[in-house]
Amino acid sequence: MHDFDFYNPTHIKFGRNTENEIGTILANDQIKKVLITFGLGSIKRTGLLDKVITSLEQSGIEYVEFEGIKPNPIISTANEGKDLAIKEQVEAILAVGGGSVIDSSKAIAAAAKSGIDIYDFYRGIAIETALPLYTILTLSATGSEMNNGFVLTNEKTREKFGTGSIFTSPKVSILNPELTFSVPKDQTAYGAVDTISHAIEPYFTKTNSVMFLEGYIENICFSVTRNVKIALTDPTDYNARAELMWASTMALNGLNKLGAKDFCFPSHMIEHSLSALYDIAHGAGLAIILPAWLKYFRNEKAPQIKQFAKAVFNVDDSQDGIKALENWLTDINAPIRLSDVGIPADDIEKIAENAFRLSSFWGMEKTYNQNRIVEILSLAI
Amino acid sequence: MHDFDFYNPTHIKFGRNTENEIGTILANDQIKKVLITFGLGSIKRTGLLDKVITSLEQSGIEYVEFEGIKPNPIISTANEGKDLAIKEQVEAILAVGGGSVIDSSKAIAAAAKSGIDIYDFYRGIAIETALPLYTILTLSATGSEMNNGFVLTNEKTREKFGTGSIFTSPKVSILNPELTFSVPKDQTAYGAVDTISHAIEPYFTKTNSVMFLEGYIENICFSVTRNVKIALTDPTDYNARAELMWASTMALNGLNKLGAKDFCFPSHMIEHSLSALYDIAHGAGLAIILPAWLKYFRNEKAPQIKQFAKAVFNVDDSQDGIKALENWLTDINAPIRLSDVGIPADDIEKIAENAFRLSSFWGMEKTYNQNRIVEILSLAI
């Protein structure tokens, strides 16, 4: 087992109606004024925003709204949020949404407290302080609710990548599975793909055996592959939504890589170029890259693929395991080829060039040259 | 999935030589003087105490030693530690040992800061402050290194039970598997039994299905049942010791029960009476109670026992699963009958009376009357 350091101080409140506790939580932390950040307005339609505001008002907490964070969030929007947070002198950020909203809010929290332009965090400026961040999760996917990383796109350069520090860990995250009942089928499926992907990237790329970790990851995938089908059939199945929500949190809170040596996230690296260049959903991009990556490494990683295939899909052969993964993706209506989302095969060189440009940021500049990325993408045609 | 609240702020540093970082860790936290607590001197013989002191001295940290915490630790010893901590005006406690040392140190940390007699914590006085606690773990078993509970025996009444609060969570715990190379075979085995037991008590007693949790627990048991055999054959197998260490931490850090409804720890409750009355090792007592508990509930819990048996021992039948657990216990030289540790069958009523006296503390006064405890113990003759 490889050495590791684990520290995750996010407080999770999981269950029905937990969003109504937000006013009390903030009041207990002596917060008097908060910036509520959210996306394109679904929380207005579902009534969640009203519930949050009622809870804040009952605890006498002032609030300012920052609306309009888009999927594949961009730095300039987060900088607008930062300006508003500074102008309004809020003491905390309350993110109500999925990964895009929470990631942007981490950037806002760090930038508002330090006054640093968010572009600079991506130029290597360390994050050494941040306003306290609270989240109310509405989508099971990114795990951002219990880690400190945030991924934004630089809309000028079309580069999508992440940063973070312990200061951008959410202080409290509220997880009510009911808040995901209204998530559309495609986003439900893509969230499941994102979860699986966070879990299996360290699993397949590590260079050592770690029995506990392998079982931990297989368990996430076992649960997600089954529960997403239940949630797609009945979007209001509380238990299935709860299993998906907790699995997505546990898939990227640090536990998913403890003891692993030399692991990396190649599918994420390549996918970020798809969503940065074509603005497709992150989970959709991952569904295309994951099988291609496995096919590329089908010989080198055969024993691990075989173990995964047995544990998650109950098939005995590594080739059948890759096929079972593709079948599962197809079953949940996720794309598995570039053409499924309208990306022409001719673009592969351009995508690989974009991905390779950020490979040193991912620590993969030596193992994933542009050629290798092209070869992997070629298996997704 | 049942509602839950999860907050675990202990920072884990896992790996070889991590004990040498303790001076730097304390210095970074502005600690100038620390109480080193430990057991019966094995850390002197192994050289660990010297290493710890060297690390402290290199960082200019003063220290006082408190030696002599015994297995099945008693309140009066912890109160002596408290008096020394107050007299010496230490700013933190550094526990170097296994669960007995860490549990006692939690009590010392809370009592030294508040001035409260430790007996009073067991009479219902809330723990609302504590000195910061740091631990260097030397035994894989109790999980105390990443939770806030502490179990002590009231030597006057022969009552053994636990308390705790968020203030008694270790701030940093250092986990170096090499420090367990010298653990004797019996303690290695008992530690594995304790770990399994922490994991399966919520698993078998909960009244709802939680797919993620069940897989999480089965994974702990799968890893521990295999790795303990490797460690018993080769006590210096780093990987096996590491798997046991991390599994024991993950088996009682809160994650082992998330989403479970109406769970309880009956085997622990009954075992505490064995170790309080006969001073046997906690893990030995659990090895006796666990199969008896499963036999008592073999019909009511048959589906869950069957699932466990398949996942952990790869047998298809619940009865065979109980037998497989007994075989595993026997393989690692753990006792499985009261007579194996010299407890006469005639004492069962007395043991049950002691256990039932504390049942309300465990929240089991309605489900485990004295008669039921007698019946369970009768299956361990």
pLDDT tens string A308-354: 999 999 999 999 999 999 999 999 999 999 999 999 999 999 999 99
Q: Which amino acid is at B292?
A: A
Q: Output the CA angle B300-B302-B308, nearest 5 degrees.
A: 135
From residue B131, how far is each of A147, B161, B163, B174 by CA, in Å? Answer: 28, 22, 16, 18
Q: What is the mean pLDDT of residues A19-36?
A: 98
Round to whole Å and give the CA distance between B75 and A329: 57
Chain A interface test: which of B174, B175, B212 (most A C-beta within 10 Å): B212
From residue B193, how far is each of B137, B145, B257 by CA, in Å? Answer: 18, 17, 18
Q: B297: which 2 tokens?
A: 């509930």
Round to whole Å and give the CA distance between B47 and B378: 45
Round to whole Å and give the CA distance between B244 and B239: 9
Whether the CB of B207 is below 8 Å from some CB of chain A: the reply is no
Structure confidence by residue, pLDDT tens digits, B276-328? 999 999 999 999 999 999 999 999 999 999 999 999 999 999 999 999 999 99
Q: What is the mean pLDDT of residues B205-223?
A: 98
Contact present, B62 and B91 (Cβ < 8 Å): no
Whether the CB of B14 is below 8 Å from some CB of chain A: the reply is yes
Round to whole Å and give the CA distance between B221 and B251: 9
Name beta bridge partners: B93.
Answer: B35, B133
How many CA atoms does the CB half-sphere of A227 hold within 13 Å?
Answer: 32
Q: For the ranges B114-118, B155-159, B368-372, which has the lowest average pLDDT?
A: B155-159
Structure confidence by residue, pLDDT tens digits, B7-30? 999 999 999 999 999 999 999 999
What is the per-residue pLDDT for B206? 97
What is the per-residue pLDDT for B98? 97
Q: Which amino acid is at B194?
A: D
Q: What is the mean pLDDT of residues B150-172?
A: 93
- Min Cα distance B130 → chain A (Å) is 18
B227: which chain A residues are within 8 Å (Cβ-Cβ)?
211
Contact between B1 and A226 using a beta-carbon 8 Å cutoff: no
A243: which chain B residues are within 8 Å (Cβ-Cβ)?
1, 210-212
Residues 48-87 of A with CB under 8 A from B: none
Whether the CB of B220 is below 8 Å from some CB of chain A: the reply is yes
A240: which chain B residues are within 8 Å (Cβ-Cβ)?
none
Pinpoint the alpha helices (H) of A133-265: 185-205, 211-233, 238-250
Contact present, A348 and A380 (Cβ < 8 Å): no
Give the A:B interface size as CB pairs under 8 Å.
107
Confidence of residue A159 (pLDDT cuts 50, 70, 90): confident
Round to whole Å and give the CA distance between A202 and A204: 6
User: Is the pLDDT reported for residue B361 higher than 90?
Assistant: no
Closest CA relative to residue B290, chosen from B225, B208, B358 = B225
Q: What percent of chain A has pLDDT over 90?
A: 96
What is the per-residue pLDDT for B158? 84
B145: which chain A residues are within 8 Å (Cβ-Cβ)?
none
Confidence of residue B358 (pLDDT cuts 50, 70, 90): confident
Q: What is the mean pLDDT of residues B361-368?
A: 91
pTM over 0.95: yes
User: Is the pLDDT reported for residue A160 higher than 90?
Assistant: no
B14: which chain A residues are within 8 Å (Cβ-Cβ)?
1, 3-6, 258-259
Whether the CB of A142 is below 8 Å from some CB of chain B: the reply is no
Q: For the ranges A30-34, A264-268, B159-163, which has the lowest average pLDDT?
A: B159-163
Residue A11 CB coordination number (10 Å): 18
Round to whole Å and give the CA distance between B47 and B53: 10
Closest CA relative to residue A144, chosen from A244, A301, A254 = A254
- Min Cα distance A48 → chain B (Å) is 19
DSSP state of B144: G
What is the per-residue pLDDT for B369? 94
Q: A208: which 2 tokens?
A: 């050592």
